[in-house]
């Protein structure tokens, strides 16, 4: 019989599952919910890792982070990212992308087909930074 996982890890798993299911009745993506749930799940796992000595839970934590980062990256296709118009949502997705960079490097090594999604993120990040620079210059 497998021992139950700590409640923080269960909470993170539920948040990641919620991230994955954040759509409304018309299958519109609920970006704010997705971003919130993904970030909160990562924060819960980080807090748990900081407060507990390394154990077998670390493998579960790594698996959750890798699994849902891969799902995040799979969903962030160039066409999906290209259709985003809200700058805050773009910035929030870019933040997740940058925060999960080490996982993304591992994932793209195993799934080279996802490199095009990373290239779109990198392009968006460059455009976003250029836009911020222009806004700063004009203010």
pLDDT (tens digit per residue) in 89-98: 888 999 999 9
**78 Cα distance to chain centroid:** 16
Query: What would the two tokens of residue 98 be?
Result: 């940058």
Number of structural domains (the chain) is: 1
75-113 pLDDT, tens digit per residue, is: 888 888 878 788 888 889 999 999 999 999 999 999 999
Domain residues for the domain of 105 are: 7-138
The answer as to whether 1 is a domain residue is no
The more confident residue out of 37 and 27 is: 37
Domain annotation covers residue 45? yes
pLDDT band at 1 (very low <50, low <70, confident <90, very high): very low
The whole-angstrom separation of Cα 44 and Cα 103 is 17
In a domain, 2, yes or no: no
pLDDT of residue 94: 93
């Amino acid at each position: 019989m497998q021992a139950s996982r700590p409640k923080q890890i269960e909470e993170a798993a539920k948040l990641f599952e919620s991230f994955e299911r954040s759509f409304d009745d018309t299958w519109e993506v609920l970006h704010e919910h997705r971003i919130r749930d993904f970030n909160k799940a990562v924060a819960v796992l980080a807090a748990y890792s900081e407060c507990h000595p390394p154990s077998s839970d670390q493998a579960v934590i790594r698996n959750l982070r890798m699994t849902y980062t891969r799902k995040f990256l799979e969903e962030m296709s160039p066409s999906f990212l290209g259709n985003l118009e809200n700058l805050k949502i773009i910035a929030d997705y870019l933040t997740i992308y940058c925060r999960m960079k080490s996982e993304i490097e591992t994932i793209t090594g195993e799934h080279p087909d996802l490199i095009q999604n990373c290239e779109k993120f990198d392009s968006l990040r460059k455009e976003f930074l250029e836009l911020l620079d222009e806004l700063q210059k004009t203010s």
